[in-house]
Amino acid sequence: MSRSLLALSLLSLTLVLSACSGEEAQAPKKEKVVAELHAPTGSDDIQWKTYLSQVVSQHQEGVTDRTFPYYLPANSSEPVANDPDHKSQYDRQLENVKPAIERTVTSGNMLAFGSPDSAKMADLIVAAFAGAKPDAVKGSIVLFIGKPEDSSRVQTAAESVGAKYVFVEAK
């Protein structure tokens, strides 16, 4: 009789524990409270970089590996002072991004792009992704922080190389 009592007790305990875990699974998940961020009104690099890093940190869902942030300051088309090649910051950043895309970006990574000059950053993204393999960024996320009028062409470029596209309006 003690064996049947023990078996019955274990069965009851198993049912109680499974009922508890079922209740937890059915409990509504709490939504993350995300602070509303506001883009800097000027072109101060420190303020913009701080803002962009805060936006990137709020959009890490789906990132299982690394985040690669790319930033262009305002007036990035002007040649860099004391640069023997007379290249602009735009040219230098494009030289960083384009080979990374051509080598492919592994799944789970995020490429985050932002600038006080949204149109120029969109130009850079489109140029960097042009000619890349259709699956060069497959399984990765491209986050563009900019103006809505620049979003569709960035989305087209990002999705053409297999990326999941995320847009955040800089407002």
In order along the chain (171 residues), what is the average pLDDT of each group of 10 residues? Answer: 46 45 49 75 93 95 94 87 81 93 90 96 96 92 97 97 96 89
Q: State residue 56's pLDDT score.
A: 96
Number of domains into which the chain is organized: 1
Domain membership of residue 40 (yes or no) is no
The residue among 171, 170, 166 whose CA lies nearest residue 59 is 166
- Domain contains 2: no
Domain presence at residue 16: no
> Is residue 122 a part of any domain in this protein?
yes
How far is the C-alpha of 170 from the C-alpha of 156, rounded, in Å? 19
**What pLDDT score does 153 carry?**
97
Please indicate, yes or no, if residue 19 is contained in any of the structural domains: no
- 148 found inside a domain: yes
- Does residue 70 sit in helix, strand or coil? strand
Domain boundaries, position 49 = 45-169
Any domain includes 33: no
Residue 140, domain member (yes or no): yes
Per-residue pLDDT, 26: 52
- Can you give the pLDDT at residue 12? 46
